[in-house]
Amino acid sequence: TKSPLRYKRILLKLSGEALMGEGKYGIHPPTLAGIAEEVIEVAQAGVEVALVIGGGNIFRGVAGATEGMDRASADYMGMLATCINSMAMQDALEKKGVHTRVLSAIKMEQIAEPYIRRRAVRHLEKGRVVIFAAGTGNPYFTTDTAASLRAMEINAQVILKATKVDGIYNADPKKDPAARRYKTLTYMDVLKQNLNVMDSTAISLCMDNKLPIIVFDLTVRGNIRRAVLGGGEIGTLVG
Ligand code: UDP
Protein backbone atom coordinates (compact mmCIF):
# COMPACT_ATOMS: atom_id res chain seq x y z
CA THR A 1 0.00 0.00 0.00
CA LYS A 2 2.46 2.58 -1.20
CA SER A 3 1.15 6.07 -1.68
CA PRO A 4 1.89 7.43 -5.14
CA LEU A 5 5.09 9.39 -5.13
CA ARG A 6 5.02 13.07 -5.92
CA TYR A 7 8.56 12.91 -7.12
CA LYS A 8 10.64 10.03 -8.33
CA ARG A 9 14.00 11.79 -8.14
CA ILE A 10 14.88 14.74 -5.94
CA LEU A 11 17.86 16.84 -5.08
CA LEU A 12 18.04 17.94 -1.46
CA LYS A 13 20.22 20.94 -0.71
CA LEU A 14 21.39 21.36 2.87
CA SER A 15 23.53 24.19 4.10
CA GLY A 16 26.54 23.25 6.13
CA GLU A 17 24.91 25.11 9.02
CA ALA A 18 22.09 22.57 9.01
CA LEU A 19 24.54 20.07 10.51
CA MET A 20 25.66 22.28 13.40
CA GLY A 21 22.62 21.82 15.59
CA GLU A 22 22.88 24.43 18.33
CA GLY A 23 26.61 24.70 17.86
CA LYS A 24 28.44 27.62 16.31
CA TYR A 25 30.39 25.52 13.85
CA GLY A 26 31.24 21.94 13.08
CA ILE A 27 28.98 18.92 13.03
CA HIS A 28 26.51 17.89 15.72
CA PRO A 29 26.20 14.10 15.42
CA PRO A 30 22.59 13.81 16.67
CA THR A 31 21.47 16.49 14.21
CA LEU A 32 23.30 14.74 11.42
CA ALA A 33 21.75 11.42 12.38
CA GLY A 34 18.28 12.98 12.46
CA ILE A 35 18.64 14.36 8.96
CA ALA A 36 20.01 11.02 7.76
CA GLU A 37 16.93 9.30 9.16
CA GLU A 38 14.63 11.61 7.26
CA VAL A 39 16.57 11.09 4.06
CA ILE A 40 16.31 7.35 4.53
CA GLU A 41 12.58 7.60 5.07
CA VAL A 42 12.00 9.05 1.61
CA ALA A 43 14.61 6.83 -0.01
CA GLN A 44 12.88 3.79 1.39
CA ALA A 45 9.58 5.03 0.02
CA GLY A 46 11.17 4.64 -3.40
CA VAL A 47 12.36 8.16 -4.08
CA GLU A 48 15.79 8.52 -5.64
CA VAL A 49 17.69 11.00 -3.51
CA ALA A 50 20.71 13.12 -4.34
CA LEU A 51 22.24 15.49 -1.81
CA VAL A 52 24.31 18.62 -1.99
CA ILE A 53 25.66 19.89 1.31
CA GLY A 54 27.24 23.29 1.84
CA GLY A 55 30.35 24.00 3.82
CA GLY A 56 29.52 27.00 5.96
CA ASN A 57 29.78 25.13 9.26
CA ILE A 58 33.37 24.09 8.62
CA PHE A 59 34.45 26.97 6.49
CA ARG A 60 33.40 29.55 9.05
CA GLY A 61 35.82 27.98 11.46
CA VAL A 62 38.67 28.81 9.11
CA ALA A 63 37.25 32.06 7.75
CA GLY A 64 39.73 34.08 9.80
CA ALA A 65 42.58 32.27 8.12
CA THR A 66 41.18 33.10 4.70
CA GLU A 67 40.98 36.83 5.31
CA GLY A 68 43.06 38.62 2.75
CA MET A 69 43.50 35.37 0.88
CA ASP A 70 43.14 35.02 -2.80
CA ARG A 71 39.42 34.52 -3.48
CA ALA A 72 39.89 31.41 -5.58
CA SER A 73 42.04 29.73 -2.92
CA ALA A 74 39.52 30.53 -0.22
CA ASP A 75 36.77 29.13 -2.42
CA TYR A 76 38.68 25.89 -2.89
CA MET A 77 38.90 25.65 0.89
CA GLY A 78 35.13 26.06 0.96
CA MET A 79 34.77 23.24 -1.52
CA LEU A 80 36.94 21.02 0.65
CA ALA A 81 34.66 21.85 3.57
CA THR A 82 31.72 20.42 1.61
CA CYS A 83 33.69 17.20 1.22
CA ILE A 84 34.04 16.89 4.98
CA ASN A 85 30.29 17.32 5.40
CA SER A 86 29.57 14.90 2.58
CA MET A 87 31.70 12.21 4.18
CA ALA A 88 30.05 12.78 7.54
CA MET A 89 26.63 12.39 5.93
CA GLN A 90 27.76 9.30 4.07
CA ASP A 91 28.83 7.75 7.33
CA ALA A 92 25.59 8.70 9.07
CA LEU A 93 23.53 7.14 6.26
CA GLU A 94 25.60 3.99 5.97
CA LYS A 95 25.49 3.40 9.72
CA LYS A 96 21.76 3.04 9.24
CA GLY A 97 22.28 0.53 6.47
CA VAL A 98 21.74 2.67 3.39
CA HIS A 99 24.02 2.47 0.38
CA THR A 100 25.57 5.75 -0.63
CA ARG A 101 28.17 7.18 -2.96
CA VAL A 102 30.04 10.44 -2.62
CA LEU A 103 30.88 11.94 -6.00
CA SER A 104 33.33 14.78 -5.86
CA ALA A 105 33.74 17.56 -8.39
CA ILE A 106 37.40 17.73 -7.34
CA LYS A 107 39.29 14.48 -7.71
CA MET A 108 40.23 12.84 -4.46
CA GLU A 109 40.20 9.22 -5.40
CA GLN A 110 40.95 7.75 -2.00
CA ILE A 111 37.79 9.12 -0.44
CA ALA A 112 35.24 9.76 -3.19
CA GLU A 113 34.43 8.82 -6.74
CA PRO A 114 35.06 11.51 -9.30
CA TYR A 115 31.87 13.14 -10.47
CA ILE A 116 30.72 11.45 -13.66
CA ARG A 117 27.17 12.28 -14.63
CA ARG A 118 26.19 8.93 -16.03
CA ARG A 119 27.60 7.19 -13.02
CA ALA A 120 25.58 9.39 -10.70
CA VAL A 121 22.40 8.48 -12.57
CA ARG A 122 23.28 4.79 -12.42
CA HIS A 123 23.80 4.96 -8.66
CA LEU A 124 20.42 6.62 -8.27
CA GLU A 125 18.73 3.98 -10.40
CA LYS A 126 20.22 1.36 -8.13
CA GLY A 127 18.71 3.07 -5.12
CA ARG A 128 21.90 4.51 -3.69
CA VAL A 129 21.81 7.90 -2.06
CA VAL A 130 24.21 10.07 -4.03
CA ILE A 131 26.07 12.90 -2.32
CA PHE A 132 27.62 15.49 -4.59
CA ALA A 133 30.72 16.94 -2.95
CA ALA A 134 33.04 19.86 -3.76
CA GLY A 135 30.29 22.02 -5.21
CA THR A 136 30.72 22.68 -8.90
CA GLY A 137 34.47 22.32 -8.60
CA ASN A 138 34.86 25.98 -9.54
CA PRO A 139 35.62 29.03 -7.44
CA TYR A 140 33.17 31.95 -7.54
CA PHE A 141 30.23 29.55 -7.34
CA THR A 142 28.12 28.38 -4.45
CA THR A 143 26.73 25.07 -3.39
CA ASP A 144 23.27 26.40 -4.28
CA THR A 145 24.45 26.71 -7.85
CA ALA A 146 26.01 23.27 -7.60
CA ALA A 147 22.63 21.96 -6.43
CA SER A 148 20.84 23.52 -9.40
CA LEU A 149 23.43 22.28 -11.85
CA ARG A 150 23.48 18.72 -10.55
CA ALA A 151 19.69 18.62 -10.30
CA MET A 152 19.51 19.51 -13.97
CA GLU A 153 22.17 17.02 -14.94
CA ILE A 154 20.47 14.10 -13.23
CA ASN A 155 16.97 15.20 -14.29
CA ALA A 156 15.74 15.65 -10.75
CA GLN A 157 12.12 16.76 -10.68
CA VAL A 158 12.58 19.21 -7.86
CA ILE A 159 15.14 20.87 -5.63
CA LEU A 160 14.34 20.81 -1.95
CA LYS A 161 16.10 23.74 -0.43
CA ALA A 162 16.35 23.27 3.31
CA THR A 163 16.35 26.40 5.46
CA LYS A 164 15.54 27.42 9.02
CA VAL A 165 12.25 29.08 8.13
CA ASP A 166 9.16 27.58 6.63
CA GLY A 167 9.44 29.01 3.15
CA ILE A 168 9.70 32.51 1.79
CA TYR A 169 8.03 35.40 3.59
CA ASN A 170 7.22 38.94 2.54
CA ALA A 171 9.17 40.15 5.58
CA ASP A 172 11.45 38.57 8.16
CA PRO A 173 9.08 36.42 10.26
CA LYS A 174 11.50 36.61 13.19
CA LYS A 175 11.25 40.40 13.31
CA ASP A 176 7.82 41.10 11.90
CA PRO A 177 4.87 39.15 13.37
CA ALA A 178 2.71 40.21 10.44
CA ALA A 179 5.06 38.59 7.94
CA ARG A 180 3.23 36.27 5.56
CA ARG A 181 4.47 33.16 3.83
CA TYR A 182 4.16 32.86 0.08
CA LYS A 183 2.71 29.53 -1.03
CA THR A 184 4.10 29.96 -4.52
CA LEU A 185 6.38 32.43 -6.26
CA THR A 186 7.84 32.71 -9.71
CA TYR A 187 11.58 32.68 -10.29
CA MET A 188 11.25 36.25 -11.50
CA ASP A 189 9.57 37.27 -8.22
CA VAL A 190 12.52 35.88 -6.34
CA LEU A 191 15.06 37.59 -8.57
CA LYS A 192 13.30 40.95 -8.79
CA GLN A 193 12.52 41.19 -5.10
CA ASN A 194 15.97 39.93 -4.26
CA LEU A 195 14.44 37.34 -1.93
CA ASN A 196 16.97 35.47 0.06
CA VAL A 197 16.39 31.93 -1.22
CA MET A 198 19.35 30.91 -3.31
CA ASP A 199 21.83 33.12 -5.13
CA SER A 200 20.77 34.55 -8.44
CA THR A 201 22.97 32.22 -10.49
CA ALA A 202 21.24 29.23 -8.95
CA ILE A 203 17.77 30.72 -9.42
CA SER A 204 18.40 31.68 -13.05
CA LEU A 205 19.63 28.21 -13.83
CA CYS A 206 16.42 26.76 -12.40
CA MET A 207 14.34 29.34 -14.24
CA ASP A 208 15.93 28.62 -17.61
CA ASN A 209 15.34 24.91 -17.18
CA LYS A 210 11.98 25.09 -15.41
CA LEU A 211 13.12 23.20 -12.37
CA PRO A 212 10.86 23.80 -9.37
CA ILE A 213 12.31 24.62 -5.96
CA ILE A 214 10.62 23.93 -2.65
CA VAL A 215 11.95 26.08 0.16
CA PHE A 216 11.14 24.49 3.49
CA ASP A 217 12.07 24.34 7.16
CA LEU A 218 14.41 21.48 7.90
CA THR A 219 14.27 22.03 11.65
CA VAL A 220 10.76 20.58 11.81
CA ARG A 221 10.99 16.84 11.99
CA GLY A 222 9.30 15.04 9.10
CA ASN A 223 9.39 17.98 6.69
CA ILE A 224 11.51 16.19 4.11
CA ARG A 225 8.86 13.49 3.98
CA ARG A 226 6.07 16.07 3.85
CA ALA A 227 7.74 17.89 0.97
CA VAL A 228 8.42 14.75 -1.01
CA LEU A 229 5.55 12.46 -0.18
CA GLY A 230 2.87 15.02 0.60
CA GLY A 231 0.79 15.23 3.74
CA GLY A 232 0.51 18.82 4.80
CA GLU A 233 1.45 21.71 2.58
CA ILE A 234 4.77 23.12 3.62
CA GLY A 235 7.15 25.79 2.51
CA THR A 236 7.10 27.86 -0.64
CA LEU A 237 7.13 26.50 -4.14
CA VAL A 238 9.20 28.51 -6.59
CA GLY A 239 8.38 27.53 -10.14
N1 UDP B 1 32.32 26.97 -3.27
C2 UDP B 1 32.87 27.28 -4.50
N3 UDP B 1 32.35 26.70 -5.63
C4 UDP B 1 31.29 25.85 -5.59
C5 UDP B 1 30.70 25.57 -4.34
C6 UDP B 1 31.24 26.13 -3.19
O7 UDP B 1 33.81 28.04 -4.58
O8 UDP B 1 30.86 25.36 -6.64
C9 UDP B 1 32.93 27.53 -2.04
C10 UDP B 1 32.54 28.96 -1.74
O11 UDP B 1 33.65 29.60 -1.17
C12 UDP B 1 31.45 28.79 -0.69
C13 UDP B 1 31.96 27.58 0.08
O14 UDP B 1 32.54 26.76 -0.94
O15 UDP B 1 31.36 29.91 0.11
C16 UDP B 1 30.93 26.80 0.86
O17 UDP B 1 29.74 26.65 0.17
P18 UDP B 1 28.42 27.47 0.58
O19 UDP B 1 28.76 28.82 1.13
O20 UDP B 1 27.53 27.45 -0.61
O21 UDP B 1 27.86 26.57 1.74
P22 UDP B 1 26.56 26.78 2.68
O23 UDP B 1 26.39 28.25 2.92
O24 UDP B 1 25.38 26.21 1.92
O25 UDP B 1 26.88 26.00 3.91
- For 34-87, how does the pLDDT look when each residue is reduced to its tens digit (9 = 90+)? 999 999 999 999 999 999 999 999 987 777 778 889 999 999 999 999 999 999
CB of 223 shorter than 6 A to ligand 1:
no
In ligand 1, the atom with minimum distance to the C-alpha of 56 is: 25
CB of 132 shorter than 6 A to ligand 1:
no
ipTM above 0.90, yes or no: yes
Architecture, CATH, for domain 9-238: 3-Layer(aba) Sandwich (3.40)
Average pLDDT over residues 120-129: 98
Alpha-carbon distance 129 to 153, whole Å?
Answer: 16
Decide: 26 and 53 in contact? Cβ < 8 Å. no
- For 141-166, how does the pLDDT look when each residue is reduced to its tens digit (9 = 90+)? 999 999 999 999 999 999 999 998 89
Domain boundaries of the chain, sorted by first residue: 9-238
Residue 103, pLDDT score: 98
Distance from residue 1's CA to the centre of ligand 1 (Å) = 41
Decide: 220 and 166 in contact? Cβ < 8 Å. yes
- Quickly state the pLDDT bin for 94 (edges 50, 70, 90): very high
Residue 16, pLDDT score: 96
Choosing from 20, 53, 84, 143 the residue with most ligand 1 atoms within 8 A of its CB, the one to mutate for a pocket test is 143
Can you say whether the dihedral through the CA atoms of 96, 85, 14, 6 is positive or negative?
A: negative
Adjacency order of strands within the sheet including 113-114: 113-114, 100-104, 129-133, 48-53, 9-14, 158-163, 213-217, 236-238, 184-185
Residue 3, pLDDT score: 61
Residue 2, pLDDT score: 56
pTM for the model stands at 0.95
Average pLDDT of the chain is: 94
